[in-house]
Structure formats: structure tokens, C-alpha cells
Amino acid sequence: MLNVLFVRYDDFAHSGVHVYSWANELSAQGACCAVAVPENPQSLSALGKARFSACAFSDIKNGMIFPDGRGPDIVHAWTPRENVRRCCERLRQKQRFRQFIHLEDNERQLLVTALGRPWKTLAAMSHEELDKLVPPHLSHPLRAEEFLQSADGVTVIIDRLREFVPKHVPTLEMWPSADGAQFVPRPMNHELRSQLGISPDATVLVYTGNVHHANASEVRSLYLAVAILNREGHPAVLVRTGRDYSAFLGPDEAWGRQHSIELGHVSRWEIPGLLAAADVLIQPGRPGEFNDYRFPSKIPEFLAAGRPVVLPACNLGLHMVDGQDACVLPKVDALGIVDAVLRITGDRDLYARLSAGARAFFDRELSWEKSSRALLRFYERGAPAESLFQEVAPDRFRNQPGGVSRQSDGPPAWME
């Protein structure tokens, strides 16, 4: 049996559903999985029943955490962030294993944004200077690159992240999914709308997610769009879950909160019912340094809910057909949201087509089980890109999700 240890940069309460789902699926397919987090492994209980074990970093000093008494055959670092890298390096001193690394964000852009310094400045610093500057929850420009160079394989959540993978390292693109049994097309949740005091004639937008420095302006555009819709005589309400880690509405928040219902942190089990209260589901944003290299976790859930989805022409949006799978806009800012909402809610045929198309895309393209099978083969074989890819998809999808490659064209122009 293959022993697989995932090492995460944070506990399960913060975007832990991807590791949870892939570890569960790998376990169902015969692997023995464990997930290590810096602390608070008990946070796993919020995600549901797990087929794997969870532990804190302090519990894996010798790596002997598997039922067979052996250490890990595979250690999958969930991003090359400093706390993860250090944990893997400590374990490497005592165990032999194959090292894989997962990329789910533009780590360089996150560091630039957090520290407020240009990438050129950071890249020119020494190891020692950066050691004092880079916090544990972000990636060290030099040490993360060395970590990636030494990897046996790298998984990426979206194809553009291959730009950060050394040319000699095999890569596997893995799209995340959602629980297709919980997130299903449901009738309009009029009961919840009534409980929240929403007028029957209002258009309801539901956004499930935290606000932080990287997405603050994008979420602000949702509030601004709802304010514009109401000002123009189209009643609209934004229902929000999640926490605010940024004062994104400005010093006077009244203008934004006037038409929003703030539910704060809610359990994952409540989200499907909330999405069923929505008329339209919107992922704000635009192409660029942040969105080109990520895959928002909300999108699979939005699609699975069978409501019209509005999203920008980046990451997953580049693989979708506008007007069929979703409403794909060059950028989803406040004015774009207003226009899309009015267009979709004013056209019954379009509304029905986008609702059906969203779920059809989910069923066709997004599956924890399928991506886990590809991941297990990636672990077991360490095969040349071409031989693994042939089992994932036919040739005509060679550049599509699920494919494996070794190529990298170097960093994007904005980092030069």
C-alpha cells in the first residue's frame, strides 16, 4: 500500500477542502493517506467524515504515522510555503520518500502584495535577508525555487502555474471539484429568502468567501454592483458568508452594507442551501497576476448548484463557452456585473440555458474521483509525461486539464 503524507500550510478551516477531498478519494482508491497541518488538526471535523488521519507538524518528527509502521512513500507539500518546506526538510533528514509539491496560487505575486516590495527587489536579496523578511505562511523566493528544483513531481491547480515549474520536473494539472451529492440543482429556496427578509421581487446574489488583501477590490465590485442595481430601480440583495480581513468598503461602509446580508462564517453544510437562494452566482475579477494563476474554490460549487454563473475570462473561464456554460466576461467588475445580471434575469431562455449549462459543465469536467486516479498514477509511476497523459485523455486534449507535461516557458513578463 502506498503511504501518502500531505503537508499543508494551514489547518482545514482555511481552504482545506481540496486536500480533504483528494486525500479521501486516494484513500478510497487504495492509498493510505495522512494530512499534516501546522496546528489544530481537529479542524478536520468541520469538513465531514475523513478516510485519512490528520496530525500536527509536531506529530510527524520521525514520519512513522501510518498503520503499517512505515514512514511515507510520498510527501506532497501543499505549496512551497516556508512552514511547509521546513517541515518537509526536517522529515527528509530522517526518512526517504519521493517529494511532490502542489501549486495553487501565484506565490510570487502573493509575496509581492503582502510585503509591498517589487519582485525584482526581493529576488535580488540574499537567503539570509529574505529569511528575516518572509513570514512562514508565504513562499521564500530562493528557497521555494530550490525546493521546486528538487521535486520528483509538481501538481498545479491550473495550467498557467506550469510557468513556475522547472523544465525538468514532471507536472500534472488537477482541477478541483465539489461534492456532487450536496451541491445539486435545487428549487429556489424561497423559505430562506423569506427568513432573511428579502423581498420577493429582489434579485439575489450569493457570495461565499472571505475578503483579504488580494481579492478586496474584486469583492468590493459586488457591493458596488448591487448598489447600482438598486439605484437604477432593480431591487437586488447580496448575501455574503465569510470573514473580512480587509477594510475593503472604505471608512464609511454604510453604502455597501445597505443592500447586503452578512452571515459571517457558516458551516459547509449550509452553503448548498444558500446557493439555492440565489438568482445568479458571480465570481468577480479580471485577468491578471492574481487570477490567471488560481482556481477559485467557489466556482465548482457555483456550477454544481445549477444557477447562471458569471465569471471572468481567466483560469477556468478560458475553458468555458460564453452563453452556454457560463456568462464569461472580459472582466467582471461592477458595471459588468450590473449588465450581466440585467441581461440574464431579463431573458428566460438565456437563464435556463446557463443554469443547465453550468451543471452540465460540472458533470462533464470536474470530478474528485477522476483527478485522484490521475494523481495516483502520477505518484506510482513517475512516468514520462507522454505515457501518463495517454491514459488521462486522448491526443486532442493534450493541452487540456488532466494533462502532464515537462515544459515551462519561464516566468511571465510581469516578473522580468
Question: What mean pLDDT is predicted for residues 359-368?
Answer: 97
pLDDT over threshold 70, residue 229: yes
Query: Is the model more confident about 388 or about 26?
Result: 26
Question: What mean pLDDT is predicted for residues 304-323?
Answer: 97
- What is the topology classification, in CATH, of domain 190-365? Rossmann fold (3.40.50)
Question: What mean pLDDT is predicted for residues 145-173?
Answer: 97
For residues 392 and 246, give the distance between their C-alpha atoms in angstroms, rounded to a whole number.
41
Beta partners for residue 312, in sequence order: 329
The reported pLDDT for the residue numbered 65 is 82
Q: Helix 385-392 to helix 368-381 angle, to the nearest 10 degrees?
A: 150
Beta partners for residue 310, in sequence order: 282, 327
Span of 182-186, 251-255, 287-291, 399-403 with lowest mean pLDDT = 399-403
**Residue 336: what are its φ and ψ, rounded to 5°?**
-65, -40
The helix (run of H) or strand (run of E) holding residue 86 is: helix 82-92
H helix count then E strand count, the chain: 15, 14
For residues 34 and 20, give the distance between their C-alpha atoms in angstroms, rounded to a whole number.
10
- What is the topology classification, in CATH, of domain 3-177+367-415? Rossmann fold (3.40.50)
The reported pLDDT for the residue numbered 388 is 32
Q: Where are the domains of the chain?
A: 3-177+367-415, 190-365
The reported pLDDT for the residue numbered 311 is 97
pTM over 0.95: no
Question: What mean pLDDT is predicted for residues 208-225?
Answer: 91
Question: What mean pLDDT is predicted for residues 185-194?
Answer: 97
Helix/strand/coil for 322: strand
The helix (run of H) or strand (run of E) holding residue 352 is: helix 348-365
The reported pLDDT for the residue numbered 244 is 87
The reported pLDDT for the residue numbered 191 is 97
Helix, strand, coil shares of the chain as percentages rounded to 5?
40, 15, 40
The reported pLDDT for the residue numbered 167 is 95
Query: Is the model more confident about 332 or about 1?
Result: 332
The reported pLDDT for the residue numbered 387 is 31
The reported pLDDT for the residue numbered 410 is 42
Strand blocks (E) in 149-278: 153-156, 171-173, 203-208, 236-241, 260-262
Residues in Cβ contact with 400 at an 8 Å cutoff, skipping those fewer than 6 apart: 319, 393
Question: What mean pLDDT is predicted for residues 24-41?
Answer: 96
The reported pLDDT for the residue numbered 249 is 87
Q: What is the pLDDT of residues 108-132, one digit of tens each?
A: 999 998 899 999 999 999 999 999 9
- Amino acid identity of residue 216, one-letter, is A
* DSSP one-letter string for 228-248: HHHHTT--EEEEEES-BSS-T
Q: Given this chain, do its domains 3-177+367-415 and 190-365 carry the same CATH topology?
A: yes
pLDDT over threshold 70, residue 221: yes
Question: What mean pLDDT is predicted for residues 287-297?
Answer: 93
Question: What mean pLDDT is predicted for residues 76-85?
Answer: 98
| 243 CB-contact burial (10 Å; exposed 0-12 / middle 13-18 / buried 19+) | exposed
Which grid cell is 58? 509536531
Residues in Cβ contact with 347 at an 8 Å cutoff, skipping those fewer than 6 apart: none
The reported pLDDT for the residue numbered 382 is 57
pLDDT, averaged across the chain? 90
Beta partners for residue 35, in sequence order: 6, 54
For residues 383 and 328, give the distance between their C-alpha atoms in angstroms, rounded to a whole number.
36
Question: What mean pLDDT is predicted for residues 38-44?
Answer: 95
pLDDT over threshold 90, residue 336: yes
Contact 39, 9 (CB under 8 A): no
Strand blocks (E) in 17-97: 32-37, 53-56, 74-78
